[in-house]
Chains A and B, each alone.
Chain A
Amino acid sequence: MANTMTVPVETTSNFINAKHRRRWLISLIGLIVVAVGLTIATIVYSNPMPLGSNGFWKIAEARVISVVVIAVVALSHSFATVAFHTVTANRIVTPSILGFEALYGLINTAAVFFFGALGATLTRGIVSYFFQVAMMVAFATLLYTWLLGSKFTNVHTMLLVGVVMGAGLASLTTFMQRMLDPNEFDILTARLMGNISNASTEYLPYAVPIVLVVVTWLWLNSRRLDTLSLGSAVSTNLGLNHRTELIKVLIAVSILMAMTTSLVGPMTFLGFLVATMAYSIADTYSHRAIFPISFLLGYVLLTGAYFVLRHIFYAQGAVTIIVELIGGLVFLIVIMRKGRL
């Protein structure tokens, strides 16, 4: 039977054919162009100071910091979500939905709760920042390895456990916050309720290199992740130690989630939104193709929302809220359309 339409391919590609690869490449280039455009626009648009003056650079610098914060948030959420989806072989439940950020909030609150205002000021310092991140990573890895490594491997159970855990951790946090004195409470809320234009930028010097290291590590492990996405049984058959890989990736995911939460607070649906869109644009198993698209989507979405809200609606504080709203809607639509989890 001669197949006249397609010459049999003799090599195996990430993409089913040249058309798919081209579509991916065009999306990638398009997103890069938009990202660069939005970055420049955000930094220079309607700067009230004359170009090149001292004031101009001050304002530009503040905006550059916002852009860096956005980049860190987008990197963390996109890489963490995609990697998490891969090792759990699901595409619905994300680290945020499973309560990683709620856990970070709880650890922060507990620090203030147990060490008082002293703890609150102490927790501002770099040592305690790393201590809290380490606690978060340790707890998250233990908790979620136990959860995901055992019988809760189907998506329904995971989602249910996530919702219950998220609610449980949040109410425990609220409970401790109620018992704080107003000063401590103020310090704490300032930290936990961050947003893009009012980010905890004092953590930026640590967050940037840490996120870059973790993201690079995930990138270098792309091929391994490709195989892990086939699930525990198949990846074990192919010679990976699934449990070890699960733990390693969960550590990476919890570090990323700690970094972004410490900067701008929780964002429940951002990761889901960008990962879901990236899967449909890239349409391949290859993480080398999915990662950049999901990061750029997150970056474009956040800078876009930031730019529009800041310069057109004068409501830059609402960036996370708007993005969450879109993300939440997409989450519901995806579940409705699939009709299953």
Chain B
Amino acid sequence: MITLENVTKTYAGETTIGPINVQIPSGGITSLVGPNGAGKSTVLTMMGRLMSPDSGRITVGGLDVAQAKSNEVAKTLAILRQENHFVTRLTVRQLIGFGRYPHSRGRLTVEDERHINEALEFLNLTALQDRYLDELSGGQRQRAYVAMVLAQDTEYVFLDEPLNNLDMSHSVQMMRQLRAAADDLGRTVIVVMHDINFASRYSDNILAMNDGQVTHFDTCADTMKSSVLTEIFGTSVRIIDDIDGPLAVYF
């Protein structure tokens, strides 16, 4: 379970996020949706303790992320930010190897190598494992980053727009892999997404943000309603019932 209690963050200027009070249950995939600038990345980054809130308390799996030992937290949650850039040249395998740092402290054991191989296979990167990151397409690189946080082997996985740079088929693949991570590996996945249809098709819950506030948090079925979506996105949305479930139409 992830709990946010009265969490606020004010950026220099006057942008204020929160106060946010929400409890996200363990298991499954929760999608964070909302317009640009709504505060999704801010909330995810605070949940992943990469930024501390100005006030309030955040716990993930019972750990107070601000108080607990950083290495303990690193074995409980893994977070991938929207932008990633490294000064060192790394191969895919080396990058994923770094995901094992909380467990290995840099000395990879046989067990660590096994996790690395699994992450490579899980994201279809085995053939690319010895390529440098700067020799990959944007989408392949994005997969390598996701593989790194999965190799961290944490119960909670937070991803900020992992579908960035991915074409349609790779987006579908990525979401299937995240679905498998939730269903087969028992991970709790929180993922920031833009496409509401992707979100509703592949996740269990949808958490919507607007102007720094959580405006809606419910199961997909209860979110995929014309009235709810129109309010969340500030533009009129119709719902069509498809064989795969409801589809939002917004143009």
Mark A residues whose CB is within 8 Å of B: 1, 3, 6, 8-14, 16-17, 85, 89-91, 223-224, 226-227, 229-234, 236-241, 283-285
- Is B198 in contact with chain A by the CB < 8 A criterion? no
Contact A239 B101 (CB under 8 A): yes
Cα distance A285–B113 when bound, in Å? Answer: 18
Cα distance A315–B130 when bound, in Å? Answer: 49
Min CB distance A82 to B, Å, is 11
Contact B129 A239 (CB under 8 A): no
- Is B189 in contact with chain A by the CB < 8 A criterion? no
Contacts of A85 in B (CB 8 A): 87
**Which one of B90, B91, B99 has the greatest number of beta carbons of chain A within 10 Å?**
B91
Write the chain A residue with the least CB distance to B93.
A12
Min CB distance B91 to A, Å, is 5
Contact A285 B94 (CB under 8 A): yes
Contact A17 B70 (CB under 8 A): no
Contacts of B108 in A (CB 8 A): 11-12
- Is B102 in contact with chain A by the CB < 8 A criterion? yes
Contact A237 B106 (CB under 8 A): no
Q: A10-B113, A227-B98, A237-B149 are in contact. List 9 more A-B contacts (CB 8 A).
A: A16-B94, A223-B105, A226-B98, A229-B88, A231-B87, A233-B50, A237-B50, A239-B70, A283-B89
Contact B79 A237 (CB under 8 A): yes
Cα distance A249–B112 when bound, in Å? Answer: 28
Contact A240 B70 (CB under 8 A): yes
Write the chain A residue with the least CB distance to B114.
A10
- Is B71 in contact with chain A by the CB < 8 A criterion? yes
Cα distance A9–B113 when bound, in Å? Answer: 10
Contacts of A285 in B (CB 8 A): 88-90, 94
> Which of the residues B75, B94, B126 comes within 8 Å of A239, measured between beta carbons?
B75
- Is B78 in contact with chain A by the CB < 8 A criterion? yes
- Is B46 in contact with chain A by the CB < 8 A criterion? no
Mark B residues whose CB is within 8 Å of A: 48-50, 70-75, 78-81, 84-91, 93-94, 96-99, 101-102, 105-108, 112-113, 116-117, 126-127, 129-130, 132, 149, 152
**Which one of A14, A16, A237 has the greatest number of beta carbons of chain B within 10 Å?**
A237
Cα distance A239–B105 when bound, in Å? Answer: 10
Cα distance A8–B116 when bound, in Å? Answer: 13
Contacts of B152 in A (CB 8 A): 237-238
Contacts of B96 in A (CB 8 A): 12
Contacts of A14 in B (CB 8 A): 94
Contact B113 A237 (CB under 8 A): no
Contacts of B94 in A (CB 8 A): 12-14, 16, 285
Contacts of B48 in A (CB 8 A): 237
Cα distance A224–B102 when bound, in Å? Answer: 11
Min CB distance A286 to B, Å, is 9
Cα distance A3–B129 when bound, in Å? Answer: 12
Contact B87 A91 (CB under 8 A): yes
Contact A229 B87 (CB under 8 A): yes
Cα distance A90–B117 when bound, in Å? Answer: 30
Min CB distance A147 to B, Å, is 17
Contact B49 A16 (CB under 8 A): no
Contacts of B50 in A (CB 8 A): 232-233, 236-237
Q: Which 10 A-B pairs have the closest CB atoms?
A: A223-B106, A239-B74, A239-B71, A285-B88, A12-B97, A238-B101, A239-B102, A239-B70, A241-B70, A233-B50
> 17 pairs across A/B with beta carbons < 8 Å?
A1-B127, A11-B108, A12-B97, A16-B94, A16-B132, A223-B106, A230-B86, A231-B85, A231-B87, A234-B84, A234-B98, A238-B74, A238-B102, A239-B101, A240-B70, A240-B71, A284-B88
Contacts of A11 in B (CB 8 A): 108, 113
Given A1-B127, A12-B93, A239-B73, is A227 in contact with B101 using a C-beta cutoff of 8 Å? yes
Given A12-B113, A241-B70, is A224 in contact with B106 using a C-beta cutoff of 8 Å? yes
Contacts of B87 in A (CB 8 A): 85, 89-91, 229, 231
Cα distance A239–B116 when bound, in Å? Answer: 18
Min CB distance A245 to B, Å, is 10
Cα distance A233–B98 when bound, in Å? Answer: 13
Contacts of A10 in B (CB 8 A): 113, 117
Contacts of A229 in B (CB 8 A): 86-88
**Which one of B70, B81, B96, B149 has the greatest number of beta carbons of chain A within 10 Å?**
B70
**Which one of B49, B50, B112 has the greatest number of beta carbons of chain A within 10 Å?**
B50
Contacts of B74 in A (CB 8 A): 237-239
Min CB distance A336 to B, Å, is 19
Contacts of A6 in B (CB 8 A): 130
Min CB distance A261 to B, Å, is 26
